[in-house]
Amino acid sequence: MASSLSLISPHSAILRTPKTLNLRTHRPLCIKARTVPALTQDDLKKLAADKAVEYVKSGMVLGLGTGSTAAFVVSKLGELLKSGELTDIVGVPTSKRTEDQARSLGIPLSILDDHPRIDLAIDGADEVDPNLDLVKGRGGALLREKMVEAASEKFVVVADETKLVKGLGGSGPAMPVEVVQFCWKYNLIRLQELFKEEGVEAKLRMEGDTPYVTDNYNYIVDLYFKTPIKDGPAAGKEISVLEGVVEHGLFLNMATAVIIAGKEGVDVMNK
């Protein structure tokens, strides 16, 4: 019986189908940048206040201003007294609300009668022009502010950049004039007539349905200028000679330095 042989050629090759490659796809990398929150107006005021307090030394008699910016100054002084970084300072407040704040922080207080010479006053401003002349008193404390700051060896103003103007009186908000309650309307009309050519509108300041009353029991007539005051000293003199006018909000040639806080930092302007 013949045998059958199965021969395999040495040259034959077995071909295998390659496995499918499993390639991983990657999503594009996405990096989110955190945005730095913009400084608020209160942030800027606090920056200016902190800088101003650097002028304060232990043992000084200080004029304490009134208003939102000045409140940051008083608050910082309270912190430094509590920590012991400042000692033996005496504050002369320019309003009842500043007095209340300072007392709550343990700041020793006095009055001009007992301390007629003040080493340094720090206060805010409603407008600051390139000559460092000011409009103040929109917070209603212009009479006491002017008395205390005029008695100060140095007067440092703190403000944010929105208070910078090319000329006083024309930025929109009022330039205040404090008048006695007696015949206030008579003086309101006279003040409006005084600046008739400038188109000034005079309004009695109100608090709700009743006239605003200052710490000195007076009224305030707010003058709204459409354009900047051309001659500040002359305007101040013309206002002051009116009988029944107590004080005006033009603070001229009084500031020794102005600290302005802005988005780019803090600038100090000196006389």
Instruction: Give me the active site residues, please.
Output: 145
Measured from the Cβ of residue 247, the count of other Cβ atoms closer than 10 Å reads 23
Widest Cα–Cα separation across the chain: 152
Signed CA dihedral, 122, 114, 138, 223: sign only: negative
Q: Nearest-CA neighbor of 255 among 99, 126, 78?
A: 126
**What is the edge-to-edge ordering of all strands in the sheet holding 250-251?**
127-128, 134-135, 250-251
Rounded to whole angstroms, the Cα distance separating 178 from 105 reads 30
In degrees and rounded to multiples of 5, residue 51 shows phi and psi of -65, -40
Rounded to whole angstroms, the Cα distance separating 61 from 109 reads 9
| Structure token digits, residue 191 | 């003040």
In degrees and rounded to multiples of 5, residue 155 shows phi and psi of -130, 110
Residue 53 burial (10 A CB sphere; 0-12, 13-18, 19+): buried
Does residue 160 contact residue 261 with C-beta atoms inside 8 Å?
A: yes
Signed CA dihedral, 224, 229, 233, 239: sign only: negative
